[in-house]
Amino acid sequence: MIIKVLGPGCTSCVTLERVTREAVDTLGLDATVEKVEDYPTIMGYGVMSTPALVVDETVIFSGRVPRAAQVREILARLAS
């Protein structure tokens, strides 16, 4: 599983990256978490509002930071 956190480094983007990494560790997932800050790349995903979470090249959500429990639930569902 390849997980990308899209965003320029704002507070919300940093929070989403932290919460995502914690969820991967908690769930014991075989996943790579990448931070993408390049605007053309972000826009290539069709994302106009950051932060955004991309899993295996599919945008899962954008423009908000969900609760840590929601990120864990999303990743657990996608990993199964």
pLDDT at 69: 95
**Which of 3, 5, 13, 71 is the catalytic position?**
13
Q: What is the CATH number of the domain that holds 6?
A: 3.40.30.10
Active site residue 10: yes
pTM: 0.93
Q: Give residue 12's domain range.
A: 2-79
HEC string of the chain equals: CEEEEECCCCHHHHHHHHHHHHHHHHHCCCCEEEEECCHHHHHHCCCCCCCEEEECCEEEEECCCCCHHHHHHHHHHHHC
pLDDT at 9: 86
pLDDT at 39: 94
How many CB atoms lie under 10 A from the CB of residue 45? 16
Per-residue pLDDT of the chain (80 residues; tens, 9 = 90+): 999 999 998 999 999 999 999 999 999 999 999 999 999 999 999 999 999 999 999 999 999 999 999 999 999 999 98
Which token pair is 29? 């997932």
**Which of 2, 10, 48, 76 is the catalytic position?**
10
d(CA 63, CA 80): 25
